[in-house]
Structure 1
Amino acid sequence: MHNVTLIKGDGIGPSIMDAAVAVINASGAKIHWHEADAGMSAYERTGTPLPDATMESIAQTRVAFKGPLTTMVGEGFRSINVELRKQYDLYANVRPAKSWKGVKTRYDDVDIVIVRENTEGLYVGLEHYLTPAKDIAESLAVVTKAGSERIVEYAFKYAIDNNRQKVTVCHKANILKYTQGLFLRAAREIAAKYPDIEFDEKIVDAACMHMVMKPEQFDVVVTTNMFGDILSDLTAGLVGGLGLIPGANIGVDAALFEAVHGSAPDIAGKNIANPTAVMMGGVMMLNHLGEHEAATRMQNAIEKVVNGGVYVTPDLNPDSKYGTKEMGQAIVDAMS
């Protein structure tokens, strides 16, 4: 039995998480769910977006399955996602983007995994105003040799463990000589330890162009925090959108699994939210827990329903009359 902290989240979170939990429970994996609060809904009830009880639960289970959370933009309380990553040192953010046969896009054979450094860079939140009038602001990016080495090491080990052939480092060392230069040097040093894995370097803006022109040249991509955030949205666009992209946040002794999309409050309660991304996050979680047979069973069922294009949400098939609940049930049925 695996103990997992369950955070349903805000907006569409509860509906897609209920569907995902039902599918995970039907997969054969033995999960004991510890439900906890976070996000705007928790803030409205308790005055904090990240209650102590939630932190205590994750500290005990060391694995969390999380729905999308709402964070106020530009002001207000801290980002819960960033705080969780910092608190548990979840340094590796893994976001796979793979083409689906049942989802029509401009490309057919995209299979790219973004490995994003999760604790450093501009997202450390070291920013302040330089004048009393608050008309000049400054943000500081923090890049360390140790942090750079461990994320690149993770990317190469991920490539080996998942039969990948190539790792591309994306950077901006041509302009940011110190921070990005440090990251690039660390990547080169680590790459030298893995001669059997092809290593490539791309400046991040050029990488964006090449991903759109010829995505098949990318396999595993490792990069810094903000660049990884941006590139993972780009790769999501190549395969059909954020509704299909899961994310894993991995640390030495803790992990958090989620969809990478937001809480979409405008469609909350309408039974039209696509649960695929968070379900695929559940597949990643089951593999992390060693429940490989259950993970394969779950993934096969999700692919069968999505590729079938019938019992899917309207974003996947505009003519669909089915919603989140029906899609979830169809995936459960596909495992029977």
Structure 2
Amino acid sequence: MSSLPVQRAVPRHRICVMPGDGIGIEVMEAALPVLDALGLPCELVFADIGWECWRREGNTVPQETWDRIASCDAALLGAITSKPPREAEAALPLSLRGTGHAFVSPVIQLRQRLGLYANIRPVTDVLGEGRYRFTVIRENTEGLYAGLDFARIPAEFEPVLSGREASGAPWRRAGPDDATMSVRLQTRHGLSRLFRFAFEYARSQGFDRVTLADKPNVLRHSGAFAREILESVAADYPDISHHIDNVDAVALWMVRRPERFGVIVAENMFGDILSDLGAGVMGGLGLAPSANIGDAGAYFEPVHGSAPAYAGLNKANPSAMFLTIAMLLEHLGYRREAAAIQSAVAETARSACRTYDLGGNASTREMAAAIIARSADKAAGRLVSGFALNEEK
């Protein structure tokens, strides 16, 4: 009797992997084997992005990369190198210099082109005993980073500013070239989708509190606008409390009593600052993962930089990349495997096998190998300590 042909599993998910620059490449190479160790049916599609693309062709995100991103379910991004305009221009081939090529951050391009309006930064007590667990959700497209940043006062704003000056405003200027101006733009559409995302995230992660970090006592009208929208959205989530706190007070209490928070949501600049503070609360950028989510796309990246001075030294902490992969896997539905990685990272970071930034002397590859081994053991034995295994989606 003839045997039946072996039926091989078709990959369920395609992940676009963009290693990036500097230590981004090293931690990516060290961490990716965890997917095979966990036996996950994922196909990896590699694509170029970042500084070397710029140096080669004057474009940080080539069209082929956009095509590969579009063919995948999600993207995993390594750290990216960015430099000021003069240095960026000098790095181009001679044939491209002075031809109008402008360096645009790949991160900004991805967020804008893919409509990724929510930046998610979990803050967990990786180095301690699980005392706190909260998440900062930052708006990605509006606020003070909306691009309304002017080197001189636009003519359209002159009547407003001149009227304020005439009524006794404390600033003084000689004319439109004697000042710069940045505008905080917030729209009902942008805030509504951000707040709804924050409440949905809180519910899915078991948080019972959403805090808007703003400055309504100073930014009175835009603060009142955000409050009205927050209260309207919150009415649909009676099981989750909502609060509005001054952003400076939130920063203080993140350091003093991080356990008081669940989801912190903020406009672009406030969220940018608070999310990096959250990394400091955790123990450093080497432990900080992130996700960028939209209605029809997502990419995931550790938030440390490319650190060119450390590239090739095999000493960068790979933990943030592992925790970023865990976020990606949870997004794709592999919640148990994600929790296994999270728990493995926490145990390894508290063990003797840890990198220099955590007080150890392990190399990138050594710490990564330890995390991978623990991840596989935990996933196989269904033994994950320190992180809840909520399999309900």
TM-score (norm 2): 0.79
Identity %: 39
Correspondence list, 1:205-284, <5 A: 205-284=248-327
Pairwise CA distance, 1:133: 10
Counterpart of 2:367 (choices 317, 327, 333) is 327
**In structure 2, the residue corresponding to 1:121 is in which secondary structure?**
coil
Correspondence list, 1:55-94, <5 A: 55-73=66-84, 77-94=103-120
**In structure 2, the residue corresponding to 1:194 is in which secondary structure?**
coil
Pairwise CA distance, 1:26: 1.5
1:113 alignment counterpart: 135
Pairwise CA distance, 1:180: 3.4
Are the aligned partners of 1:28 and 1:294 in contact in 2 as well (CA < 8 Å)? Answer: no
State how far apart, in whole Å, the 2-side matches of 1:161 and 1:81 are.
26
Pairwise CA distance, 1:149: 0.8
**In structure 1, the residue corresponding to 2:149 is in which secondary structure?**
strand
Are the aligned partners of 1:115 and 1:223 in contact in 2 as well (CA < 8 Å)? Answer: yes
Q: Which has the higher contact order (CA 8 A, sep 6+)?
A: 1
1:317 alignment counterpart: 359
State how far apart, in whole Å, the 1-side matches of 2:250 and 2:84 are.
28
Query: RMSD of aligned C-alpha atoms?
Result: 2.0
State how far apart, in whole Å, the 1-side matches of 2:337 and 2:69 are.
23
State how far apart, in whole Å, the 1-side matches of 2:222 and 2:31 are.
39
Pairwise CA distance, 1:140: 2.4
Pairwise CA distance, 1:327: 1.0
Read off the aligned partner of 1:240 and give its amino acid letter.
Answer: G
State how far apart, in whole Å, the 1-side matches of 2:23 and 2:128 are.
23
Inter-CA distance 25–146: structure 2 relative to 1 (3 Å threshold): same
State how far apart, in whole Å, the 2-side matches of 1:209 and 1:43 are.
40
Report whether the alignment pairs 1:3 with 2:14.
yes
Are the aligned partners of 1:102 and 1:306 in contact in 2 as well (CA < 8 Å)? Answer: no
Are the aligned partners of 2:127 and 2:282 in contact in 1 as well (CA < 8 Å)? Answer: no
Correspondence list, 1:22-171, <5 A: 22-73=33-84, 77-101=103-127, 109-130=131-152, 136-171=179-214
Read off the aligned partner of 2:151 and give its amino acid letter.
Answer: Y
Are the aligned partners of 1:29 and 1:286 in contact in 2 as well (CA < 8 Å)? Answer: no
Inter-CA distance 16–159: structure 2 relative to 1 (3 Å threshold): same
**In structure 1, the residue corresponding to 2:61 is in which secondary structure?**
coil
State how far apart, in whole Å, the 2-side matches of 1:175 and 1:73 are.
33
State how far apart, in whole Å, the 1-side matches of 2:251 and 2:373 are.
39
Read off the aligned partner of 2:232 and give its amino acid letter.
Answer: E
State how far apart, in whole Å, the 2-side matches of 1:29 and 1:195 are.
37
**In structure 1, the residue corresponding to 2:356 is in which secondary structure?**
coil
Unaligned runs of 5+ in 1: none
Pairwise CA distance, 1:297: 2.7
Pairwise CA distance, 1:74: 6.8
State how far apart, in whole Å, the 1-side matches of 2:277 and 2:77 are.
22
More strand by share: 1
Read off the aligned partner of 1:311 and give its amino acid letter.
Answer: C
**In structure 2, the residue corresponding to 1:124 is in which secondary structure?**
coil
2:23 alignment counterpart: 12
2:329 alignment counterpart: 286
Are the aligned partners of 1:22 and 1:328 in contact in 2 as well (CA < 8 Å)? Answer: no
Are the aligned partners of 2:288 and 2:303 in contact in 1 as well (CA < 8 Å)? Answer: yes
Are the aligned partners of 1:244 and 1:277 in contact in 2 as well (CA < 8 Å)? Answer: yes
Inter-CA distance 20–152: structure 2 relative to 1 (3 Å threshold): same
Are the aligned partners of 2:127 and 2:283 in contact in 1 as well (CA < 8 Å)? Answer: no
Read off the aligned partner of 1:66 and give its amino acid letter.
Answer: L
Read off the aligned partner of 1:129 and give its amino acid letter.
Answer: A
Are the aligned partners of 1:68 and 1:258 in contact in 2 as well (CA < 8 Å)? Answer: yes
Q: How many pairs were matched up?
A: 329
Read off the aligned partner of 2:266 and give its amino acid letter.
Answer: T
Are the aligned partners of 1:116 and 1:228 in contact in 2 as well (CA < 8 Å)? Answer: yes
State how far apart, in whole Å, the 1-side matches of 2:208 and 2:182 are.
36
Give per-residue Cα distances to partners, 1:189-217, cap 9 Å, x unaligned: 21122121121110111211222222221
**In structure 2, the residue corresponding to 1:3 is in which secondary structure?**
strand
Are the aligned partners of 1:62 and 1:253 in contact in 2 as well (CA < 8 Å)? Answer: no
Pairwise CA distance, 1:45: 1.9
**In structure 2, the residue corresponding to 1:115 is in which secondary structure?**
strand
State how far apart, in whole Å, the 2-side matches of 1:300 and 1:215 are.
20
Inter-CA distance 91–176: structure 2 relative to 1 (3 Å threshold): same
Structure with greater Cα Rg: 2
Pairwise CA distance, 1:293: 2.8
Pairwise CA distance, 1:232: 0.7
Inter-CA distance 133–179: structure 2 relative to 1 (3 Å threshold): closer
Read off the aligned partner of 1:150 and give its amino acid letter.
Answer: R
State how far apart, in whole Å, the 1-side matches of 2:215 and 2:83 are.
29
**In structure 2, the residue corresponding to 1:142 is in which secondary structure?**
coil
**In structure 2, the residue corresponding to 1:49 is in which secondary structure?**
coil
Read off the aligned partner of 2:355 and give its amino acid letter.
Answer: T
